[in-house]
Structure 1
């Protein structure tokens, strides 16, 4: 698959991200990337502001939730949530933590602790401005952990976490991770 950064509209939108722009700009960038990576012609749908409800009645809305209708099945496989935050907040650990907490809440509301036979790989992404991190959902613990695709080089932060990737500078790594997610969910 062609790199998302080679698609002019996606590249132009990324280049136009202002230093402290609105979160909606990030929704547009990531909706374009996800629509390119997971095309509707192959059975994928990305829903903006998808609602998640826990048994306790608590509601939440994920920014972007990607589903896959495999073959002729009318049951969608829900496999990726992207939480976006506006540019200018990339260096704030509290904003990254908020994004991760939202992922955990929405992934747990959607998947909970599924029976072993029902488990498929589920991922989440926190995208803050020009940076992003990918996580994998753990059904047993109902949490997420840092994740990168096999063979994708990554750096570690001083805290030992996988360092965020820049959506322009590291587009090749991000593309390989998205390819892996597409092929393994």
Structure 2
């Protein structure tokens, strides 16, 4: 699928109805090219957005989140090399109704490549093991941290104590790898 040059200008100059019809036609073609597993993920993600997009925070969904919580959440549509759809994420910070989260996966092939269990592991992968409340061992994508609205939380499933050595190491690695800064142990 390819966007033609000048597509944005054409959208701005067309009637809203025509823009919607062309979008829906293109989207229908796109979605049916996906494997069934991804069609379901795409539809669930779209419905989650429609139902939750006007919520300021997870408090309107009767949830209270804390730093260190591991949440199943709706990351939404994504580009390649980004966490998308529904994934778990570790809450590293909370700022003005938004969560700074690190997406994670339990995919065994990715876990094997983590920096802290493989001598030649990938720097962006950090193994956290099997956290109580989760069914499988997991690995964090340190290079995919992002701020998201806390209303994206579907459930709170686990917790890593923010004062623990592991949580501090994760925080320090994010700072070091993202900003090329060393962090003192007492920070």
Q: TM-score, normalised by structure 1?
A: 0.27
Larger Rg: 2
